[in-house]
Structure 1
Amino acid sequence: MKTFDWIVIGNGITGAAVSYELARAGASVLLLEQSSQPQNATRYSYGGIAYWSGTTDLTRQLCQEGIDLHRSLPAELGADTQFRELDLLLTIEPNRDPQQIAATYTDCTISPKILSPAEAQAIEPRLNAAAVAGALLLPHGHVSPEANVLAYNQAFLRLGGTLDIAQVTGLVQSGQQVQGVVATNITYEAGNVVVCVGGYSRTLLRSFGFPIRLYYTQAELIEIPPTDLQLRSIVMPAELKRPHLEATAAKAELDALWDEPNHEVTPAILDAGAIQFQDGRIRMGQFSRTFTDPQARFDAAASEAAMRTAVGTLLPDLKSLAGQWHSCLVAFSRDGLPVIGALPNTTGIHIFSGFNSPFVLAPPVARRFARHAASNAVNLDPLLTQLAPDRLWDER
């Protein structure tokens, strides 16, 4: 049986980036994905690259590294990620003060431009100017999530990486040392294992006995097949409700609920927005829910109707376009930062999850993670130290 240097579990944007970067650094790497067509958060992502959104030295640096990397990745990977730069239009609800809302973006690397309803409609002609008090305008990056993952995978395989379809069900352990994984009908051995399964990270790691404080939302959206209708920008709310939902759901006093089934930790929220891809597809939504059962089922018809109404208020031409409701899990952490690195009290097991803006942050963090792994340095990259999982370890 071949022993790998690294096993990467999960082939969303995080696992694809980490596996490629580890192979690029010279490691022998096995990438495991349970499905040949994963229905994960990457698959249903908007693919936005919010490089303007850094608010601390840490996030500003990572956002800059992220956009710089995306601009050069197609050439490096030898494949089209469908990277482009376009306008982000953040809509402001009627009876809200655009100046006050713009002030909440003061700490961001790039400050938004305040637009009147008419100016916003000039940027996005599909916008219903009567439905907004104005909008904020920011530069934004964008990729096709599927194309980005495929480009990483193809480059990974050219570097000698191995990609297998198998569901991981357990770990190979000797005392406090993880030495591989148990998957469907097969065992794989490795010096290190890194978990990159997004919203399933908490459930998987806790099933292995690792009490990490990671959480997830059930996101719902509608995907519309390629259409001749054209959007010129990404449209999202200026006052996103999701950050407040995540902060509330991750409060320490609610943490015990996450270990019990059938709880709705916080009420559902709806952030109305839409993005069109270069092939003409549109993704619009989205609901975010916090049910403690990752397999929870919802009333898809009711959710779809509510999303169509909300998006249709802003972008009336989208309301009645035929499309399909979808749902996926989206990971988040208590402090809004990703959770990266070796798990406490055990060697050979790592986490790479919890990104609130994965397409801008995951590629540069993956590069740093792999660079550190290849260096065999005792001291961790100071930037990665700030993302280490021991800050979110549950010692209950």
Structure 2
Amino acid sequence: MNKFDWIVVGGGITGAALAYELANQGVSVLLLERDATLRGASRYGYGGIAYWAGTTELTRQLCAEGIAIHRSLTDELESDPEFRELDLVLTVPPDADIPAIAQAYQAFAIPPQYVERQPACELEPLLNPEAIAGAFTVKHGHVNLRKLVEAYRQAFINRGGTLEIETATAVLKGDRKQVQGIQGRQNTYFAENVAICTGALTRLFLRQAGIVIPQYFTHAELIETPPLEIKLRSLVMPAETQRLQLEARASQAEIDSLWDHPGHEPVSPILDAGAVQFLDGRMRLGQISRALTDPFAPIDAAASETAIRTQVGAILPALQDVPGTWHHCLIAFSRDSLPLIGPIADWENLHLFSGFSNPLAIVPALARRFAKQAAIAKIDPLLKQLSPNRFG
């Protein structure tokens, strides 16, 4: 019977980064991932790294640490995740309250700067000048998220880690609420510690063990194109995004119990019209966010695709009718937009590493801190602020 120091459940960006950093500390690590081909949020994410967007001492520090790691990951992982820094163009509609938006941006570590319509269109020539008053702009990190996950996984294996394509079905519980490992669909796996990195499915997975955590998810919808000859210079998003407001409304304590029952939609869906192009010419257009409590809820793909094309087309007319396919994934989040990291109350060897609203900016730094804390068995004061038990 093999027994590992750590089992990491979930091989997307959070699990892959955490498994790699744990292996770097010289411990034995098993990474369990259900899909041989990358799926979910790590497959369809935009790849944006909003390192400028820290608004507190905690998030500013994490963003600064995160972008420093990103800038060296190509060499460290010996693989190219296509890291770059490009212009983020945050479009402002003609009827917007520009001073109010500018004031809100002053809270960020690097506040985006406002430019009028003409310089905005010089930054991004595909913009429709009639649809905007101007834009806010700031430098923004970007990676090919699929390649980044693959790079983390391969580097993990190169450092002695074990990757198994296996569906985790349950937490193995011993006496006194002590976790012994993970039951998979095919095999049983034992470990001294277990880290759950299953993203949006984390709440559902842990509920089977009688553990309820304050984590939620949205259904994110987007259109992915094949490689196009059209060139988008920047990453385009609205200056007033609605996703974070949706997350805040959908995770209020008084409606928390709805998330344990499918069939509810606590708040109405939103659409933040944006677009990004990868180095191979592919684009992603989106996105609609829905707070549906059933992770397997049916969605009208045709209606969603039409809505995305219409709103993106209003801002970027050349993209309205490009070839592309509708896709859908789940995005995890917490009640306060901060991740849930650390041991679950009364389960000291069962850990969370999930619930990231701004993952790429902070996952690398938090994975590194988590692994170092585990190696030296000394609490990191920064990680303590992200405890899953902070909501009581």
Normalized against structure 2, the TM-score is what? 0.98
Match runs of 1:88-167 below 5 Å: 88-167=88-167
Instruction: Determine helix, strand or coil for the equivalent of 1:325.
Output: strand
CA–CA separation in structure 2 for the residues paired with 1:353 and 1:329: 13
Deviations 1:223-280 (A, max 9, x none): 0011111100000011010111011001111112111220111100000000000111
**Given that residues 9 and 195 in structure 1 are in contact (C-alpha distance below 8 angstroms), is that contact kept between their aligned partners in structure 2?**
yes
Structural mapping, 1:284-363, within 5 Å: 284-363=285-364
Q: Give the equivalent residue in structure 1 for 2:87.
A: 87
The 2-side partners of 1:278 and 1:207 are apart by 42
Is 1:35 matched up with 2:35? yes
Aligned to 1:310, the other structure's residue is in SS state helix
Q: Does the CA contact (< 8 Å) of 1:98 and 1:134 recur in 2?
A: no
Aligned to 2:233: 232
Deviation at 1:38, TM superposition (A): 3.1
Contact map agreement 1:97 1:133 (CA 8 A) in 2: no
Residue aligning to 1:387: 386
Q: State the shift of 1:129 in Å.
A: 1.1
CA distance in structure 1 between the partners assigned to 2:350 and 2:39 by the alignment: 25
CA contact (8 A) 1:99 1:114 kept: no
After superposition, give the CA deviation of every residue in 1:162-199 in whole Å (9 maximum; x if it has no partner).
11101001122112110100001200000111011111
Return the letter of the residue paired with 1:391.
Answer: R
Unaligned runs of 5+ in 2: none
Name the SS for the 2:183 alignment partner: strand
CA distance in 1, matches of 2:333, 2:153: 25
Deviation at 1:305, TM superposition (A): 0.2
Letter in 2 for 1:291: L
Cα displacement (A) at 1:99: 2.3
Q: C-alpha distance in 2, partners of 1:314/1:114? A: 17
Secondary structure of 2:347's counterpart equals coil
Task: Calculate the TM-score normalised by the size of structure 1.
Answer: 0.98
Query: 5 Å matches for 1:369-384?
Result: 369-377=370-378, 380-384=379-383
Q: Are 2:51 and 1:51 equivalent residues in the alignment?
A: yes
- Cα deviation for residue 17 of structure 1 reads 0.3
4+ runs of 1 displaced by more than 3 Å? none
* Partner AA of 1:349 in structure 2: L
Q: Residues of 2 paired with 1:10 and 1:258: CA distance?
A: 21
What letter corresponds to residue 77 of structure 2 in structure 1? L
The equivalent of 1:266 in structure 2 is: 267
Number of residues paired by the alignment?
Answer: 391
Distance of 1:29 and 1:341 partners within structure 2 = 17
Which residue of structure 1 aligns with residue 213 of structure 2? Answer: 212
Give the partner amino acid of 2:133: A
| CA deviation profile, 1:97-134 (whole Å, cap 9, x unmatched) | 22221111111111211111111100000000110111
Work out the CA distance in 2 between the residues paired with 1:204 and 1:172.
Answer: 12
Q: Does 1:247 align with 2:248?
A: yes
The 8 Å contact of residues 38 and 146 in structure 2, kept in 1 or not, is answered as no
Identity %: 54
Q: Distance in 2 between matches of 1:367 and 1:146?
A: 20
Cα displacement (A) at 1:376: 1.7
Q: Which residue pairs with 1:67 in the alignment?
A: 67
After TM superposition, the structure 1 stretch with the greater mean CA deviation from structure 2, 93-102 or 315-324, is 93-102
- In 2, Cα distance between the equivalents of 1:210 and 1:324? 37
Q: CA shift at 1:347, angstroms?
A: 2.6
* 1:168 lines up with 2:168 in the alignment: yes
The CA distance in 2 between the partners of 1:213 and 1:179, in whole Å, is 24
Matched, 1:12 2:12: yes
Deviation at 1:281, TM superposition (A): 0.6
Point out the more displaced range, 236-245 or 93-102.
93-102
